[in-house]
Each structure stands twice: as structure tokens, then as C-alpha cells.
Amino acid sequence: MDRTFVMVKPDGVQRGLVGEIISRFEAKGLKLAGAKLELLPEARVVEQYREHLQKPFFPGLKTYIMSGPCFLMVWEGKGAVAVVRRMIGSTNPAEAAPGSIRGDFALDIGRNVIHASDSPESAARELGIHFASGELVDYSKIDEPVLYE
């Protein structure tokens, strides 16, 4: 099954949105394979956002992500990477569709509440940055037979 890496950013944790966000992914039918609350060390933030290292917003992004704990998750399901990207919405919350997480809970591109991997390759890479294999739980869920054809 496909896996994706998702992270509630410090603004989302501080605003008490972790439960709401987990509920949306659960209701969709995705399966939680791992989760933890963490203050991310600088090296992992740099690795996570390495494609943006030279961008003008990078210093502010790093400060933001390290400003408080993040809630890191791994979600599993059919097409999970693309499905979760659609559920989080566009990068700029002002343009994110209503009904998406960023569309419903954020206003500012610099405080957009949540991260999710943008491709299966990014998902594999980001999972490797943040989770050891022993932290991911392999189990079956009783709704699986009715969720999938």
C-alpha cells in the first residue's frame, strides 16, 4: 500500500488542530502507520526542505518549523501521496480550496499548518529522514475489506 509523510507544523500544533487533522485522514479511510510529536533538529529541517535552501524564504521557513513541536505522521492507503496532497490543499492558503486543510484553517503562506510529501519519491525520502523502520507499525485494520474493491 502507498505511504506518505505528513507533518502538522508548529502553528497547527499550537492552534490545537492535530486532532481535527487526524480525524480527516481517518475519515477518508487512510491508515495511520506511525506518529510522534517532536522538536525537529536543524539538520532534519534542512534535509526535509533541501530543494528550497537557496530560496529567499528559507531562513524564515527554518525558524518557523523549529519554533515549536511538529506532529509527524505516516499515512497509508491507495494513492495516499496524491490523495493527501489534495486534502491539504495549495501551498498558499489564500488559494487553497475550501474543504482542504489549508483552505479551511490558514491564511498565510508562511503559516500554512501542514506539510505532506508531493510524490512517491519524496515520500520515501522524507520517511527516511524522520522515521526509523522500527517506528512504523505494520498491522491490519478491520475496515480494509469494505474500503477497497
Binding characters for Mg ion, 87-126, by CB under 5 A (x = yes) = -------------------------------x--------
E strand residue ranges, 9-106: 31-38, 70-77
Q: Is 98 exposed, middle or buried (0-12, 13-18, 19+ CB in 10 A)?
A: exposed
CB-wise, 29 or 110, nearer to Mg ion? 110
d(CA 100, CA 89): 5
* 56, 96, 50, 46: CA torsion to nearest 10: 90
Stretch that binds ligand IDP, among 21-29, 68-76, 112-120, 128-136 (CB under 6 A): 112-120
**Is 115 an active-site residue?**
yes
Site string for ligand IDP, 18-57 (x = CB under 6 A): ----------------------------------x----x
Active site residues: 115
